Structure formats: structure tokens, C-alpha cells
Structure 1
Amino acid sequence: MKKSISLFMALLFTMAAFAHKQDTRYYEMRIYYCEAGKLPDLLTRFRNHTTKLFEKHGMTNVGYWVPISNEQNALYYVLSYPSKEARDASWKAFGADPEWKTVREKSEENGKIVAKVESIFMNLTDFSPAVKAQKKNPERVFELRIYTPGPDKLNDLLARFRNHTVKLFKKHGMDNIAYWTTIEKDGAQPKLVYFLGHKSEEAGKASFEAFRKDPTWVKAREESERNGKLAEKVESIYMTPTDFSTIK
């Protein structure tokens, strides 16, 4: 009987792991750079209208963040879709929605709100936690990190994260939120994009300092970089979630 229960539990674990790895949703991180003084207007429009219209047209709101140091008046957010085709159809329907047109026109009576929009398309990695709503701590801050791998180093970088880095982040008090690789045009090598959660910006920096000194990390880094550095460039942006973000 005990053996049967053990086999059953192992099967459930395997099925759960398989189901997680099969997250084939098409993700998009969008960055809106606002005209001077217009970020509050953009946030109001998202809070009262845009997020609901996204859901109406089959888009899933993953999370919304504003950089702590925000000289560019930017809003970062992530959406998910069943597929690229579904994404394109949803945005076409959203753009043609009379309700959206009315909202946009009314919100821009005193001037244009958004100066520029950037889109980054992404796939979830096999080692990422499941992407879902989180409301752990109203004071929690988030860190967006973007790694540009060296030539032909992406797989090595992902292996290091899969086998070592993610576990060590958790050990040092960082919350692993989600990990993606970008979908690049013309066959260019993808980047690694991920979010971490911290109790505060100061706590995040202290955690990274402890992480970098960890002997396990030092060994993993040295062994993985015998043939050269894995990341040519690392970008880090500390952010706070908006009040309407599904991840806080």
C-alpha cells in the first residue's frame, strides 16, 4: 500500500512539473515613456479603464511597475496571450473598440500622454516559477534584470541559473518572480529577462552583496566561465508595483 501511495505521489509530482514546463503562453513586456508630467494620467487611465479592456479582449494582466528612479516617466508592464496570433488579434480588437477610443480621447483632452512605446516579446524559461498573481507585501519592491549573453553563451547562462543561481537567490532572501528569454528578430541571440522581489531596495542590494560572496556562487561562476564570461551586459532597474498590479 505504501509503495502504491509513493508511486502515486511521484506521478503527481511528475505531472505537475510537466504541466509547469508546458507554459507556452506568449509574453510581452511593454514600456510606455510618458510626456512630461503625464505619468499620473497614464496610471489613472490604466487603473480605471485599460486593464479591464485588456481582459475584455483576451489579454492577461501579469504585472505593472514604475521605476523608483524614473527620469523617463516610464511604466513597465507584462501581458500574456495564448499565442502570437491571439496577441495580434487581441490588440486589433482593442484598438478598434469604441469604448477604448472614447477613453483615449477623453484622457488626452489636455495633450498626448505617451511619447514612445517599446515591446519585448518573451517565452517563459523551464526553470521559472509559475507566473501568477501575488500580493505578499505592500512594501515589497521589484528588480527587473536583463542579461545580454556573450556569443553562443545563452544556454550556458540558462544552465547556471537553472542549476545554481535561482536556488542561491532564494537562499539570500530574494523572491524569484519570473524568468523569460526574449524573442529576437533575424535570429539574434535572445536575452534573459527576470524579476526578483525584495523587502526594499536596500535589502535587495544587501542580498546581492551576500550572494556574490557566497562560496557556492563563486565556485559555480568560476566553473561556468572557464571559457569566458557568460553575460556581456547586465541591466538592473528597481521598481515599485502600481496599486492595480496583479503582482505586488
Structure 2
Amino acid sequence: MKRRSFVKASVLTGAAASILPLSSMATSAKDTGTQFYELRTYILKNESQQKLVEDYFQNAAIPALNKLGSKNIGVFTELKPDGQTKIYALIPFNSLADFLTVQEKLDKDPVYQEKGAAYLTAPAIEPAYERIESSLLKAFAHMPKMQIPKQSPRIFELRRYEHATESAGKKKLEMFNDAGEIDVFKRLGFNPVFFGETIIGDHRPNLIYMITFDDLDAKAAHWKAFGSDPEWKKISSVPDYSDAKLVTHITSTLLQPLTASQI
């Protein structure tokens, strides 16, 4: 085989190898009903940018994504920001295929393009945001779909658990799914919105989940009950499930929903 042909064949083989797992995952997601989530964090420098992003979701993104099958989109600001708030957006997809094709469909939607023009075509000297940090999450087996809390004044806690290794991350997933940790959250009234394993994103390996409370006092009471719960104590006492082995860092972010938020 000539060198040029060999190189070309090698490149194509490598590309196919990277695409096939995604295709397989997309097919699997359709078969099982497992959702995928895009979690976006908008880094902003001022209130003008905040208004642009908020208006974009309310007038353009949420209606267009709803039309494409992504329901119950959450948009939040920080409850206690350190300076200018970030905006967090949680977008559910019914399959990986839906996620992979959404941008192409939005590009062809004239209403979305018109309603979102201020955001989509913001000039470089006055951008709509500084950066977007984005992660793709796969829903846990024991909670394959988002659950929407009651519509009432409430706060949300977004938690990220980072792991030292992929194997530690898988063990923590086992703890949530098979050992019953998710059931403890539900039984104690944490009203979990989603649990997701980060497939693509920063600080991998990690998992991310969202829970919700009436207020800060309720948050404190729920976590106190969790720590003293007999079933949780039983699960966490298993040597292989100790936090020292599985979790290297926990990030907790308190959020409040925007008016446009469907969560």
C-alpha cells in the first residue's frame, strides 16, 4: 500500500472509531428512554450581558427547544453571587441523537434566528457573554428522566462530585443507583431534579445532580436529616463506598430560577 493511501485509511479508521461509540450510545438512549442533559454556565461581566442571555432564553431558545422536544428547560442565577452572577442553563434531551442534531435544526429555524438575533449576532466589541462552559451529562440508570418539582418559590442546589479515577466514579454511580442513595434523597424529600454522569466537560471524572428546597432553613434541615438517616449510615459504612476513596472534591452552588425557567 502506498504511504498516502495508508495515511488516509488510518485517519478514516480513527474517525470511525470515535464516531461509532457515539452512534451506539445514541441508539441505546432511544431504546432505554435515558435522557441526556446539557449543563451550560454563562460567564458574564455586567447586567447588560445578563439581560441579553435572559432575553435569549425567554424569547428564542426555550420556545425553539420546546418545539424540538426538549421540555422543562431550567435557567437559573446564583442565589448569592460573588460579584456579577453567572447564568446556569439545564437543557434535557430525549436521546444523544437529539443533542447532536439540535444546533443544525436551530440554525434552520427562522423564528429562533429572529427572536434571538441580539444574542446570536452580538458584535465582538459588545458580546452577549464572556464565555460558555458546557458539559454533557447522561442520566443515572435509577433516575433516567428529569423530575420536575412543584411550582412554588424555592431554591436549588447544584452539586458536583469529582473523583480521583474513572473507577472511583463508577463506584460512586453504583452507590447512587444500586446501593440506594438516590432512594434516600427521595424518601427524605430532597425532590431531586436530575442525576447525571459527566460524559464531556471540565473536571472529569465527575457526576452532577440537582436538588431543591423551600428555603435555606429547609436546606439545612434536610441535610441534617440525611446525615443521621439510618439507611444512609448503612450505605456509607460500606468500606468501598467511603468518601475518602470515591470523592476528591465537592462543589455546591445555590441557584434561583429565572422567570423564564420551566423548572
Q: 1:224 to 1:158 in 2, by over 3 A?
A: farther
Q: Distance in 2 between matches of 1:121 and 1:165?
A: 23
Task: Extract structure 1 runs of 4+ deviating beyond 6 A.
Answer: none
**Alignment length (residue pairs):** 226
SS in 1 for 2:226: helix
Amino acid at match of 2:152: P
Which residue pairs with 1:168 in the alignment?
184
Which residue pairs with 1:198 in the alignment?
213
Q: Which runs of 5+ in 1 are unaligned?
A: 1-18
Conserved? CA contact 2:137–2:196, under 8 Å = yes
Normalising by structure 1, report the TM-score: 0.77
SS in 2 for 1:235: strand
Conserved? CA contact 2:59–2:116, under 8 Å = no
1:112 matches 2:127? yes
SS in 2 for 1:170: helix
SS in 1 for 2:47: coil
**1:52 maps to which of 52, 58, 63:** 63
Q: 1:218 to 1:24 in 2, by over 3 A?
A: closer
- Measured after TM superposition, the shift of residue 209 of structure 1 is 2.1
Q: 1:208 to 1:113 in 2, by over 3 A?
A: same
Aligned 1:221-232 pairs, distance under 5 A: 221-225=236-240, 228-232=244-248
Q: 1:58 to 1:167 in 2, by over 3 A?
A: closer
- Measured after TM superposition, the shift of residue 65 of structure 1 is 1.9
Which residue pairs with 1:7 in the alignment?
none
1:216 matches 2:249? no
Conserved? CA contact 1:141–1:197, under 8 Å = yes
SS in 1 for 2:81: coil
C-alpha RMSD of matched pairs (Å) = 3.0
- Measured after TM superposition, the shift of residue 98 of structure 1 is 4.4
SS in 2 for 1:40: helix
Which residue pairs with 2:15 in the alignment?
none
- Measured after TM superposition, the shift of residue 36 of structure 1 is 1.0
1:33 matches 2:47? no
1:180-220: CA deviation from partner (whole Å, max 9, x where unpaired): 111148xx964211111111122112211221133432332
Q: Which runs of 5+ in 2 are unaligned?
A: 1-28
Normalising by structure 2, report the TM-score: 0.73
SS in 2 for 1:114: coil
Which residue pairs with 1:4 in the alignment?
none
SS in 1 for 2:153: coil
Which residue pairs with 2:76 in the alignment?
65
Q: Percent identity?
A: 23
Q: Distance in 1 between matches of 2:131 and 2:66?
A: 23
